[in-house]
Structure 1
Amino acid sequence: MTLLDRRGFLRVGGAGALAIPSLGLAASGAHAAPSRYFRHGVASGDPLPTAVIIWTRVTPTASSLPGSGAGPVVDVGWQVARDAAFRKIVARGTFRTGPDRDHTVKVDVRGLAPGTVYYYRFLLDGSPSPVGRTRTAPPATARVPALKLGVVSCANWEAGHFAAYRHLAARDDLFGIVHLGDYIYEYASGDFAAGGRVVRPNEPRHEILTLADYRMRHALYKTDPDLQALHARFPWMIVWDDHEVANDAWAGGAQNHDPATEGPYAARLAASRRAYFEWMPVRVKPGGAIYRRLRFGRLAELTLLDLRGYRSRQERGIAVDDPARTITGTAQMRWLKEGLSASKGEVRWRLIGNSVMISPVAVGAVPARLLGPLGRLLGVPAGGFAINPDQWDGYTADRKQLLGHLHRNRIGNTIFLTGDIHTCWANEVPLDAATYPRSPAVATEMVVPSVTSDNIDDLAGVPPRTLSLAAEGALAVTNRHVRWAELDSHGYGVIGLTPERARMDWFALSDRTRRDASSRRLASFAVPSGSPTLKRLIAG
C-alpha cells in the first residue's frame, strides 16, 4: 500500500527582556560583504548561559569548493567580542580545517557571561569574515520577564526566495530562531518546485545521495543572502526533519530512497548526517544524538526532538495503534518524559520543538473506541482514520504515552511548536480526541507554514482561498480541537512568552517566488498560563 507523504496529505486536505536591541547594525547588513574566503556567511546556535556555537566555512583556494574534497588544510582564527568593532575581545582561538570536514569551522565557545550579546568573526590570512551577532542564554535561575523566538520550517530553494528570513532578520525583538526541520531538500531539480515551476535551480541538479552531494546542497542554501543575514543576526536552535536526508525518512529507510538503484540507505544516512553536522551550528551528543534541551531562565525550556532517527516505518490502518511501533524510540521517550517532569517546578513554559504534528487529524471515521469490538473487526484505528500516518497519528501508542504523562503528572503550560506540513494550525491537543472536548486538552500546538514549500493551492494549481476553504471547513467538522487552520500561506511564526501568557503570531508572505515579498500578520492566538485553551486575538 502506498502511504500518503506530505504532498499526498495536502492533496487530500484539498478535498521583550531577551530581545536583542538594535545596536547600530542594519538588519540585512548585519554582516559585511563576503570576502573571497567566506562565501557562506557565519552562524551561531544552541545558546547556553556560558556558551554558544559559532560557525563558518572557508574557501582558501579556488579549487576548495564545497563537496570537492580539494584544497589545503588551513588554520582559521576566531574572535568573540562584546562590541562590533572588536575592541573588547573576550575569547579567541584557532580552528584547523580542511577537505576532511569540507572546510567548515565550528567552535563551541565556552566561558562566556550569561544573558549577554556578543559579536564574532573569523579570520584567514588576515582577511575577516562577515561579523555575526549572538547571545548567551540567561542563568537557569533568572526571573526572565519576556522571550520572543522566530519559528520557521520547510525552506525549499527551488520553490522561491527566503523572504521570510529577511523579515525575521529585520526584527529587533527576537532572542533567536527555532528551525523545525527541512532546512534543505534532497530532490532533483524540478521534482518539487513552486507548483512545478523552478524559481531557482538546485545544485547539484540530481537528487543528492553522496557526501559530496549533501555538502554541495548545504553550501547552495548558505549562499542565500537572506538566510545569511538571519544566521548572522540571531542564534538558531535547529532540529532536522526528513528532507535533510530523504522524504518520509524512518530509522531504516525513506519513501524517497530505492536501495536497488540508490544503494544502501545506511550509507546515504551517514553521508547526510555528516554533512549536516559539518554545516549546521548545532551541538551534538556523543553518538550523534541531536535531541536536546535549552533553558531560558525560569521562564521557558525548549526541548528539541529527533522524530526521524529512531522511528518505526510508517504504516496504515490498525497498525498505527501497535504499541511496539515508535516515533521517538525508547531512550528518547524516557528522556523526554523525565525532562518534562523535572521542569515542572523549574520553568513556567515548556516548548517542544516537534517536527511533525502531534494533534490528531481524522476525516470521515468514527474512532474504534466508540464502536467497541466492531471497530477492531473493521480495522478502524483507535483515533479514527488518519490523513497522514507520517505524523504522530501513525504512532498512537507513543502519543498516548506522552500525553498521558502530561495529564497524570499535571504538567501544564506545554506548547508543541511544529512544522513539516507547510500550513498554519492552532490546536488544543486532546488527551482523547474521540471524546473531545469532554476529554481534556493537555497541551497546545502551534504549526507554522512553510517558508517556500508547496501547500494546498500550490499543489492543486488553484488560486489561494478557493479549494482550501472547503478543506478547512471539513477539518473543523471532524477535529473540534483544531481552533484554526489556514492551508494556503507561506511565511513564519513568532512566539512570545511572559509569565502570564504565550502568544503566537503567524505571518504570511505576499509571494514566495519574490525576494522582495511583503509580509502581513495572518492571525494571532494566546494561551493563558495554567490553561491549554486558545484565544484568538483580533488586534494588538
Structure 2
Amino acid sequence: MTNRPHTLSPGRRTVLRGSLLASAAMTLPAVSGAPAFARSGRPSAEWGVQVGDVTASTALVWVRADRAARMLVETSATESFRRSRLWHGPLIGAGTDFTGTTALHGLPAGEQIHYRVILADPDDPRRTGRPVYGTFRTAPASRRAGARFLWSGDIAGQGWGINPDLGGYTVYEEMRDLDPDFFLCSGDSIYADGVIEPAVTLPDGRTWRNVTTEEKAKVAETLDEYRGNFRYNLLDANVREFNAQVPSIVQWDDHEVRNNWYPGQILDDVRYTEKDVDVLAARSVRAYREYLPVATLRTAPGEGRMHRVVRHGPLLDVFVLDMRSFRNANSPDRQADDATGILGAEQLRWLKGELSRSRAVWKVIAADMPLGLVVPDGATNFEAVAQGDPGAPLGRELQIAELLRYIKHRRITGTVWLTADVHHTSAQHYLPERAAFKDFAPFWEFVSGPLAAGAFPASALDGTFGPDRVFVEAPTRSNLSPLEMPPLFGEVDIDGASGEMTVRLRQQGGRILFTKVLQPGLTGQ
C-alpha cells in the first residue's frame, strides 16, 4: 500500500550481497565452534554492519573489528560513492569488545543512503581493512512515501539455534526480500539463559543440529558470556545480510538477562553462581550497548534508558517501551493499589507526555509483553499485565487502565499495540462494552513471533479490558521447533495517500495468515 517499490532492484541486491560476501570471510561451522578468522595485517569486520534508530536525518552505524581500529563511515546517495561524506567514528578496542557505533546526522529525508564502514589501523591510518557495505532509507519528510516495517521477537530460544542443515535463520532472507523501512525487534533478541546443544532429537525422530559456541554452552553470567550471546546470532550470514539492508529498532525483555527476571530478584537457580539479578542485568545491558545501535543507550557509560520514541515521518511514531527494568516483583498481582506496575511511575509519565505531543497519524506502542494475555510465572505468580481475573483492574492492570483512560480523555487517536513474547501470533480487539473496566477507547493489539525459537500454545485471555481474539495461530503442544512450526513475523504497511494501516500476520514460506486494515483517526474499528 505504500507509494514505493517493496523490494530493491535486482542490481542493487546483487551489489549489496556481493559486497557483503567480499567483506566477510566468516562461514557457518559445520557442527560447532566459532568461525576461524583469517588475521592479516589490516583490521577487518567479519561480523557485518548494523544501522539502528533511523529518523529523517539521523542514524547509528555499528561494526565490530577483529582488533583495535579507528572506525570510519562513508555515506553517499549512490553506490559508486563518487560523492561521499566521511564520518570519523570512535577508536574501538577491548573495552567495548571491539565494537563501535558512529552517529550520522544531517542526512536527507526520505532517501536511500549507501554507506561503507572502513576500519583503520590506529597507529597507521593508511592501513585500512576491506570496506563493509550497507544501505538504509531515512524516514520521509512527507507522508506521500508511506511507511512499512516488520516486527517479531524471540531469537535462539528453547535450544533452537542456527541450524546449518537448513542454511541458518533463512526467515531473515525472506524478511529482507520484503525490503521494509525497518525491523522492530520486540524483545528476547537473545536467550542468555538458553543453552544451545549441538543436536536435539525431535519427537518424530529427526535430528535438529545447532551451531554452538563456548558462550552458549551454559547460562550467561559474566560480561564476556553476555557478549558471546549477542555475537551468536551474528554468526548467521542471513542475519548479517539482513542487518546490512534493514535498520532495526530493538527493545529488550527478560531473556536478554534471565527468564522472567525483575529488579531486586535473588535467584534460586542452581545453574547460576551469581544470584543477584541486578548484577546480571548490569552486565547484560553493557553488552547490549556494545552490540546494538540504539541511540538512548549511548548517553554515557553506565547511563541511558531503554524507552524512547523513534519518529518515522508524519505517519508514524514508534513508542518503544521497557516493561522490564522498572517493574515490581512478579506476584499473584491482585493488589488494589500499585504505583509501580510494569512500567514504573516515571516511564508512565514519559509515555503520557510523548503520546500527547505526538502529531503522527499512527502511534505504535511497541510493548515487550502483551496486555490481555495471561503469562504465568510459576504456579501462583504472573509475568505480564494480566493475571486471569476478568474483573476490575488489579495489580499491574491499574497502571494500564490509567494509561488507557488518559489516551481516551486526551483524544489521542491512532494507537496500536505491537508485541511478541508468547511464541505464537494473534490479533486482539479491545472494546469497553466487553470489559470490566470501560473508560477507554477501543484499540487493537497484534502479537507475532517467535522468529527463531520454540512455538507455544495460545495464552488464556483476561477480560478486564475486553479483548476479543479474532485470530490466533498457535500449536497445541509446547516448544515446537522451527522445523515443526515455521517462524512468524508481522508486517505493518501505512499508505501515504489514505493513511490506512494494513497489518499482516505472516509465516515463513510466504503465508499471510491474517490481515486487518485500520482507518486513521477512527476508534472501534
Q: Same fold (TM over 0.5)?
A: yes
Which residue does 2:356 correspond to in 1?
Answer: 341
8 Å Cα contact 2:7-2:178 kept in structure 1: no
Structure 2 CA distance for aligned equivalents of residues 501 and 255 of structure 1: 47
Residues 194/246 of structure 1: CA separation in 2 closer, same or farther (3 Å cut): farther
Q: Distance in 2 between matches of 1:284 and 1:194?
A: 42
The answer for the alignment partner of 1:311 in structure 2 is: 327
1:505 and 2:504 equivalent?
A: yes
The answer to whether residue 522 in structure 2 is matched with residue 531 in structure 1 is: yes
Match of 2:420 in 1: 419
Contact 1:449 1:491 in 2 (8 A): yes
TM-score in terms of structure 1 length: 0.77
Q: Percent identity?
A: 23
Residue 322 of structure 2: SS of its match in structure 1? coil
Match of 2:396 in 1: 395
Counterpart among 191, 200, 208 of residue 210 in structure 2 = 200
Kept after mapping to 1: 8 A contact 2:374/2:462: no
Task: State the match for 2:195 in structure 1.
Answer: 189
- Paired position in structure 2 for 1:137: 139
* Range that drifts further, 85-94 or 446-455: 85-94
| Partner residue, 1:494 | 491
Q: Distance in 2 between matches of 1:524 and 1:194?
A: 35
Which letter maps to 1:497?
Answer: I
Matches for 1:209-358 after TM superposition, within 5 Å: 209-253=221-265, 261-284=273-296, 286=299, 287-319=303-335, 321-343=336-358, 346-358=359-371
Q: Give the CA deviation at 1:43.
A: 0.6
Q: Tell whether 2:110 aligns with 1:115.
A: yes
The structure where helix makes up a greater share of residues is 1
How is 1:365-514 mapped onto 2 (pairs within 5 angstroms)? 385-386=387-388, 395-431=396-432, 434-435=435-436, 441-456=441-456, 481-488=468-475, 489=485, 490-498=487-495, 499-509=498-508
Corresponding letter in the other structure for 1:135 = R
Q: Is the 8 A contact 2:424 2:488 kept in 1?
A: no
Q: Measure the CA separation in 1 of the matches of 2:221 and 2:78.
A: 42
Distance 1:74 1:206, change over 3 A: same
> Does the Cα contact within 8 Å between 1:154 and 1:451 map onto a contact in 2?
yes
- Once the two structures are TM-superposed, the CA of residue 257 in structure 1 deviates from its matched residue by 6.0
Secondary structure (helix, strand or coil) at the match of 1:249 reads coil
Structure 2 partner of 1:151: 151
Say whether the 8 Å CA contact 2:192–2:258 is kept in structure 1: yes
1:165 aligns with 2:172: yes
Q: Tell me the amino acid that sits aligned with residue 132 of structure 1.
A: G
Cα distance in 1 between the residues matched to 2:396 and 2:451: 27
Structure 1 contact 104–279 (Cα < 8 Å) conserved: yes
The aligned residue for residue 17 of structure 2 is: 29
1:80 maps to which residue? Answer: 75
Matches within 5 A, 1:92-103: 92-103=87-98
Task: Classify 1:227/1:256 alpha carbon distance in 2 versus 1 (closer, same or farther; 3 Å).
Answer: farther
Q: Are the aligned partners of 1:18 and 1:147 in contact in 2 as well (CA < 8 Å)?
A: no
Write the letter of the residue equivalent to 2:414. N
Is the 8 Å Cα contact of residues 150 and 176 (structure 1) preserved in structure 2? Answer: yes
Q: Deviations over 1:207-237 (max 9, x none)?
A: 1111010111111211111111111111111
Q: Which moved more, 1:392-401 or 1:275-284?
A: 392-401
* CA distance 1:102–1:235, shift in 2 (3 Å): same
Give the conservation status (yes or no) of the 8 Å contact 1:147–1:175: yes
**Structure 2 unaligned regions, length at least 5:** 26-37, 39-43, 120-126, 162-167, 377-384, 476-484
**Aligned CA distance change for structure 1 residues 451 and 260 (closer, same or farther; 3 Å):** closer
Q: Which moved more, 1:207-216 or 1:182-191?
A: 182-191
3-state SS of paired residue (2:50): strand
Match among 29, 46, 53 for residue 53 of structure 2:
46
Distance 1:269-1:148 versus aligned 2 partners, 3 A rule: same
Q: Which amino acid aligns with 2:512?
A: R
Give the direction of change, closer, same or farther, for the CA distance of 1:485–1:393 in structure 2 (3 Å limit): farther
Do the aligned residues in 2 keep the contact of 1:48 with 1:295 (CA within 8 Å)? yes
Which structure exhibits the higher relative contact order, with contacts defined as CA atoms closer than 8 Å and separated by 6 or more residues?
1
Q: Do the aligned partners of residues 317 and 45 (structure 1) sit closer, same or farther apart at CA in structure 2, a change above 3 Å counting?
A: closer
- What is the letter of the counterpart of residue 97 of structure 1? I
Partner Cα separation in structure 2 for residue 86 and residue 143 of structure 1: 28
Offset at 1:362?
A: 9.9
Distance 1:290 1:355, change over 3 A: same
1:311 maps to amino acid:
R
- How far apart are residue 431 of structure 1 and its match? 4.7
Matched letter for residue 114 of structure 1: A
- Partners of 2:422 and 2:202 lie apart in 1 by 15
Contact 1:163 / 1:226 at 8 angstroms: preserved in 2?
A: yes
CA distance, structure 2, for counterparts of residue 362 and residue 181 of structure 1: 15
In structure 2, what residue type is equivalent to 1:502? M
What's the RMSD between the two structures over aligned residues?
3.2
Q: Give the total of aligned pairs.
A: 457
